[in-house]
């Protein structure tokens, strides 16, 4: 099974992707996380990508497709992938469709999380993450037990550079202008698209997703 978690920044793709990854035998492939890891490691790709990410703009397709192709071929199709934050342009969607077919397992579904803009801004400006284990917290709705410290591994929590309010608003514009239209490509390709109300508790959203996936 290959599924795409789709939706604006802050809709809960990472949160739900991690839960689904645990529940099903799938590999989560988050292009945002791969790019942040490359930037942390100081690779040429990571440093180039960081300029776009910090400005809230999309990283060029050639960079993304090279990176995704490498990961997909290296990991093989062990039970399939959850694509999180990918594809984000028409060119990425067509390339993913071709790669997935070539590997003998086409895309089964696109799951679209919908949340209104002001809630997204609230969520992202309050998001904290653990640079050590990757766990995500929300300052207002899901705070860590001890302020600034990861409940799982005890590491100090951090805030993403692109979670400043002005950058979040730019990311939302980019989503509307360049990414939302990608859904039409999947419609044309005949891939089932499911819209899920993401403005509910994490558990309720997860229950809707698992009801769809079975």
Q: Among residue numbers 52 through 81, which ones bind ligand AP5 (CB under 6 A)?
A: 52-53, 56-59, 64
Phi–psi pair at 75, nearest 5 degrees = -85, -20
Contacting ligand AP5 within 102-131 (CB under 6 A) = 123-124, 127
User: Quick one: 24 or 52, whose CB is closer to ligand AP5?
Assistant: 52
Among residues 4, 6, 15, 72, the one that binds ligand AP5 under rule CB under 6 A: 15
Q: Write out the H or E segment, with its range, that includes residue 109.
A: strand 109-114
CB–CB of 183/193 below 8 Å?
A: yes
Q: How many CB atoms lie within 10 A of CB 118?
A: 8
Of 144, 145, 139, the C-alpha closest to 124 is 139
By beta-carbon distance, which residue lies closest to ligand AP5?
Answer: 32
Using alpha carbons, select from 202, 201, 214 the residue that is nearest to residue 18: 202
**150 in contact with ligand AP5 (CB under 6 A):** no
Q: Choose, by CB under 6 A, the member of 77, 132, 138, 159 that binds ligand AP5.
A: 138
Residues taking part in catalysis: 13, 88, 127, 160, 171
Q: Count CB-CB contacts under 10 A for residue 74.
A: 7
Binding site for ligand AP5 (CB under 6 A): 7, 9-15, 31-32, 35, 52-53, 56-59, 64, 85-88, 92, 123-124, 127, 136-138, 141-142, 162, 171, 201-202, 205
């Amino acid at each position: 099974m290959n599924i795409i978690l789709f939706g604006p920044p802050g809709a809960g793709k990472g949160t739900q992707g991690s839960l689904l990854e645990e529940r099903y035998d799938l590999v989560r492939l988050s292009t945002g996380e791969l790019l942040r890891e490359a930037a942390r490691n100081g690779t040429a790709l990571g440093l180039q990508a960081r300029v776009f990410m910090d400005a809230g703009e999309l990283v060029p397709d050639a960079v993304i497709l090279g990176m995704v192709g490498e990961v997909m071929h290296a990991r093989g199709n062990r039970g399939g992938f959850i694509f999180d934050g990918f594809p984000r342009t028409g060119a990425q969607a067509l390339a993913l469709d071709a790669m997935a077919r070539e590997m003998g397992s086409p895309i089964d579904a696109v799951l679209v999380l919908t949340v209104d803009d002001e809630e997204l801004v609230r969520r992202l400006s309050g998001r904290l993450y653990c640079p050590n284990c990757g766990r995500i917290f929300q300052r207002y709705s899901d705070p860590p037990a001890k302020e600034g410290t990861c409940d799982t591994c005890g590491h100090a929590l951090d805030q993403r550079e692109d979670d400043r309010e002005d950058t979040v608003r730019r990311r939302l514009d980019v989503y509307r202008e360049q990414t939302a239209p990608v859904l039409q490509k999947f419609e044309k390709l005949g891939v089932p698209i499911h819209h899920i109300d993401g403005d509910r508790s994490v558990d309720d959203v997860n229950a809707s997703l698992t009801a769809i996936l079975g």
